[in-house]
A = this chain, B = another copy of it.
Amino acid sequence: MQAILLFAHGARAESWARPFRAIQDRLRDQRPGIAVELAFLEFMAPDFATAIDRLNAQGATQVLVCPLFLGVGGHVLRDLPALVDTARTRWPELSIECAGSPGDDPQVLDALAQYCLRQFSGPG
C-alpha cells in the first residue's frame, strides 16, 4: 500500500497545525486508497518515527514524505534526512522517499502570490 507522510515543523499553539490537518483531510478525501499521516519535527505529536510506525501498521509498503516547509533550510536539509535514515534502518522492509519542497512548486507559488493579491483587493 502506498502512503504519504506530511512533515511539518510543529509549534506550541495547537491552532498552528490547522493548515496541515486541512491538507491531510484533502488528501484523504481525494485519494481514499492512500494512507496519509502527519508528523511534526518538534512541539507536536506524532513525531516522524511514530507516524511511520502508524503507516507500517496500516500496511504501507511505500511512503512518500512531503515536507510542508516553504523554505529549504536546516530542517529539510539535515533534520529530515536524519529522520528518514533512522526510519529506513528501523523499518528496512519499507520504501521511504522524500519529495521536494512545495516552495519550489510553481503552482504553490502562484497560489501564494494570488492569496496576497486577494488580501490586497479585499475590504479596507
Contacts and interface: CB of A to CB of B under 8 A. Distances in A.
Interface in A4-56: 4, 6, 8-9, 11-13, 15-20, 22-23, 26-27, 30-31, 34
Contact-residue bracket for chain A: 35 or more
How many copies of this chain? 2
Given A64-B119, A66-B119, A103-B18, A113 B71 contact: no
A20 B119 contact: no
Contact of A113 (B13, B23, B112): B23
Contacts of A72: 13, 15-16, 18
B11 A120 contact: no
Interface of A: 2, 4, 6, 8-9, 11-13, 15-20, 22-23, 26-27, 30-31, 34, 64, 66, 68, 70-74, 77, 97, 99-105, 107-120, 124
